[in-house]
Amino acid sequence: MKIFGTLAGLIISLFPLTGFAADIVSVRGESTFYDDGTHSKVECERLALEQARIDALAKKFGTIVSQDILQADRVQGNREKNDFLSLSTTEVRGEWVADDGDPKYTYERDSNQNLIVTCVIKGKAKAIDNEAAQFNSQVLRNGTDSRNADINFKNGDAMFLDFQGSVDGYLAVFLEDEHKQVYQLLPYVNDQKTRVPVKRGNRYVFFSPRDGMRGEIVDELVLTASYNTEYNRVYVLFSPDQFSSPVMTKAPGELPYMNAEDFSKWLVRTRKNDPKMGVKAMNLIIEPTR
């Protein structure tokens, strides 16, 4: 079977959500994005929101600054030359769990009429540690090989999901659209389980009939954007322990769904009760056919 539909969502920063869920706290962040005339209003809002979340995490949990120095010795002519390359990176020491209400935006224009967007966001977050189950997961576009990994889609492109866990466990996948609806992508529509069992070290490709289990009815996903660029947020949840699915509205043959606010509340509760659960948020951009 094939499932078609317009699935859109906000974009968030691309770091995995993992760690000890018992110490979830309230945070607040603010950031201003200055457009240079190359971004749409929606893109400006997305970038301001992403920066505001990072601001909230940095203020609450601090940052880690690391520096790598590369030294290369070489001879030019009759002279020896030493080259030094210093690379510094800064990472926040916390992770975003869920929004607490909608982000608040204000708008201005600079002297060149470029948009200036300020975003204020409240949410739930926690410090990062190493207790959560580790896994690798990526979205694939129009192919099931790892080289098809991509977050930029066009109208009508097929979406697959690549997954590999470090331990035996259970998997569920959700997608949030910009209309504040969250759809459950895994387990499949006709699967009666609330999560998908996976084995340690095995590579799985979901939404591909060729890679499905024998006798399994695989849902194929085709992403669409009819008129405007659309944004999706994909959540991959993985835990060594079994966990329950949220209560969702479900019609026969259709993806189960719920509103984003209820999903966020469920995710916060679930992670508080399961410190071994790892969550990764991946962001998709869908361009309409020109």
**What per-residue confidence (pLDDT) applies to 7?**
37
Please determine, for residue 182, whether its predicted confidence score (pLDDT) is greater than 90.
Answer: yes
- The residues with which 73 forms a beta bridge, in sequence order, are 82
Which segment of 16-25, 144-153, 181-190 scores lowest on mean pLDDT? 16-25
**What per-residue confidence (pLDDT) applies to 204?**
94
**What per-residue confidence (pLDDT) applies to 77?**
53
Residues 263 and 177: their CA atoms lie apart, in Å, by 12
- The residues with which 86 forms a beta bridge, in sequence order, are 69
Burial 106-128 (b: 16+ CB within 10 A, else e): eeeeeeeeebebebbbbbbbbbb
How sure is the predictor about 129, in pLDDT bands with cuts at 50, 70 and 90?
low
Q: Which amino acid is at 134?
A: Q
Residues 225 and 220: their CA atoms lie apart, in Å, by 17
Residues 288 and 232: their CA atoms lie apart, in Å, by 14
User: For residue 4, which of 148, 207, 211 has the smallest C-alpha distance?
Assistant: 207
Residues 15 and 25: their CA atoms lie apart, in Å, by 19
**What per-residue confidence (pLDDT) applies to 79?**
58
Question: What does DSSP assign to residue 15?
Answer: -
**What per-residue confidence (pLDDT) applies to 80?**
55
Mean pLDDT for 92-118 is: 88
Residues 146 and 56: their CA atoms lie apart, in Å, by 33
**What per-residue confidence (pLDDT) applies to 227?**
83
R_g of the chain computed on alpha carbons: 21
Please determine, for residue 154, whether its predicted confidence score (pLDDT) is greater than 90.
Answer: yes
Q: Under a CB-based contact definition with an 8 Å cutoff, are residues 16 and 278 in contact?
A: yes
Mean pLDDT for 235-251 is: 91
**What per-residue confidence (pLDDT) applies to 5?**
39
Please determine, for residue 278, whether its predicted confidence score (pLDDT) is greater than 70.
Answer: yes
User: For residue 280, which of 157, 183, 163, 143 has the smallest C-alpha distance?
Assistant: 163
In the numeric block, the tokens 């539909």 are attached to 5
Residues 138 and 284: their CA atoms lie apart, in Å, by 11
As a whole number, the mean pLDDT across the chain is 81
**What per-residue confidence (pLDDT) applies to 16?**
40
Mean pLDDT for 150-159 is: 93
Which segment of 44-53, 127-136, 199-208 scores lowest on mean pLDDT? 127-136
Our CA angle for 28, 231, 95, nearest 5°, is 35
Please determine, for residue 19, whether its predicted confidence score (pLDDT) is greater than 50.
Answer: no
Residue 38, SS3? coil
